[in-house]
Amino acid sequence: MAKRFGVVGCGYVGTAVALHLRQQGYELTGTTTGPSRLAELCDLVDHPRILCAGDPGADFSVLDDLDGLLISMAPTTANNKEDQYRAVYGEAVTALVEALRRRPREQALHVSYLSSAGIYGDQSGAITTEQSPPDLSNTTNALLVQAENAVLDLNTPMIQTCVLRLGGIYGPGNDIPSFIRSASGQPVAKNGNHINAWVHLDDIVRGVDFALQLRLQGIYNLVDDLQLTRRELSNALCDDEGLPPVIWENHDRPGARVFNARVSNARLLQMGFSLRTRSMLEPVAAC
Ligand SMILES: NC(=O)c1ccc[n+]([C@@H]2O[C@H](COP(=O)([O-])OP(=O)(O)OC[C@H]3O[C@@H](n4cnc5c(N)ncnc54)[C@H](OP(=O)(O)O)[C@@H]3O)[C@@H](O)[C@H]2O)c1
């Protein structure tokens, strides 16, 4: 019998994971928050469902009978960012966790929860591992960490949970190199001395599959090998095409959410995971 896998939040990442695992022979359930994308999901998964976690009438029966689950929720509306973040990483994650606790059938389940390496915040560019304390001075980071903890608290012999902290995502439909080059010669109101973390969409898909197969538990950074400042990265991308550099600021804007860390992927690599794309500056490794 096919193993059953669910994706809560078939957005950019969730869709790619669903597509991959269905090709691997899993029976897929996938969710979207409203009817507008349901037809799209019919082509993607075996069981398309509407689920808006956090809504009073949310139907969590989609979680019954699953062997594996990916939680890949993010705010999708641009208005009032703080409220949207609270709705998803506060209320929706809490509701989902409670529903998982109340699952009617005692059946082994592996859960991968997608979080962000952004929670490390300002580490002054230092090497940052899963052991490094997150930067909780920022309210968004504090909310994201609270959501991670809620999911990790689910861990029992029957439900194994892991958190994958992602870098900024690049890949098909999200051409970050072109986006950065499009700022060539122009001022950008961000600190060019800060180091960001990145990851290719395909490596996220492979990472979720890896976590499922190994039934990983705990926190893992899922980022590529690139540990450059914004300025170093944009210079490399612009030089490559003979373009003038992007003009970054050398200081933080007041109140800006800072991310400045050399995020290490060593823990996941030690478990046996390998990246296909080591950075957006390098060609993809052969399969
Ligand atoms: N994008 C990045 O660079 C980045 C970086 C680091 C971490 N991440 C993390 O990666 C994950 C996936 O990101 P993404 O780029 O794939 O996001 P996305 O394309 O915006 O998709 C988000 C999905 O979440 C669903 N959703 C929103 N609110 C929900 C709720 N209350 N209940 C259930 N589902 C809900 C959306 O439903 P609809 O289908 O109805 O829109 C959508 O399917 C997120 O956890 C995000 O924090 C992303």
Dist CA 176 CA 228 (whole Å): 14
- How far does the centroid of ligand 1 lie from the alpha carbon of residue 235, in Å? 30
Q: What residue spans of the chain are helical by DSSP H?
A: 12-23, 38-44, 81-85, 93-101, 139-152, 176-181, 201-214, 230-240, 266-270
Cα–Cα nearest to 127, from 273, 33, 14, 266: 266
The two structure tokens encoding residue 154: 């689910």
Cβ contact 265:279 at 8 Å: no
What is residue 200's DSSP assignment? E
Q: Ligand 1: distance of its center to the CA of 240 in Å? A: 33
**CA 242: distance to chain centroid?**
33
CB 169 less than 6 A from any atom of ligand 1: yes
Ligand 1 site, residue 14, Cβ cutoff 6 A: yes
Question: What's the predicted TM-score (pTM) here?
Answer: 0.97
Calculate how far, in angstroms, residue 247's C-alpha sits from the geometric centre of ligand 1. 31
C-alpha to C-alpha distance for 72 and 8, rounded to whole angstroms:
6
- Contact yes or no for 222/269 (Cβ under 8 A): no
Residue 149 is predicted with a pLDDT of 98
The residue to mutate among 8, 12, 180, having the most atoms of ligand 1 within 8 angstroms of its beta carbon, is 12
- Res 143: pLDDT: 95
Q: What is the pLDDT of residue 285?
A: 60
Burial class (CB in 10 A: 0-12, 13-18, 19+), 34: exposed
**In the prediction, which pLDDT does 107 show?**
87
What span, in angstroms and rounded, lies between the C-alpha atoms of 237 and 234? Answer: 5
The predicted structure's pLDDT at residue 283: 66
Residue nearest to atom 15 of ligand 1 (CA): 12
- Please tell me if the CB atom of residue 72 comes closer than 6 angstroms to any atom of ligand 1: yes
Q: Provide the terminal-to-terminal Cα distance of the chain, rounded to the nearest Å.
A: 28
Tell me the two tokens of residue 213: 């197969």
Classified by CATH at the fold level, domain 4-170+198-225+263-270 comes out as: Rossmann fold (3.40.50)
Ligand 1 and 76: CB distance under 6 A? yes
Q: Bridge partners of 128? A: 263
2 CA to middle of ligand 1, Å? 26
Is the C-beta atom of 34 inside 6 A of ligand 1? yes
Residue with the smallest CA separation from ligand 1 atom 6 is 116
pLDDT of residue 253: 86
The 3-state DSSP class for residue 235 equals helix
- Nearest in space to 261 (alpha carbons), one of 165, 156, 180: 165
- From first to last of its 287 residues, the chain has per-residue pLDDT tens of 669 999 999 999 999 999 999 999 999 999 999 999 999 999 999 999 999 999 999 999 999 999 999 999 999 876 667 889 999 999 999 999 999 999 887 789 999 999 999 999 999 999 999 999 999 999 999 999 999 999 999 999 899 999 999 999 999 999 999 999 999 999 999 999 999 999 999 999 999 999 999 999 999 999 999 999 999 999 999 999 999 999 999 998 888 889 999 999 999 999 999 999 999 998 666 55
13 lines ligand 1 (CB under 6 A): yes
d(CA 185, ligand 1 centre) in Å: 32
DSSP 69: E
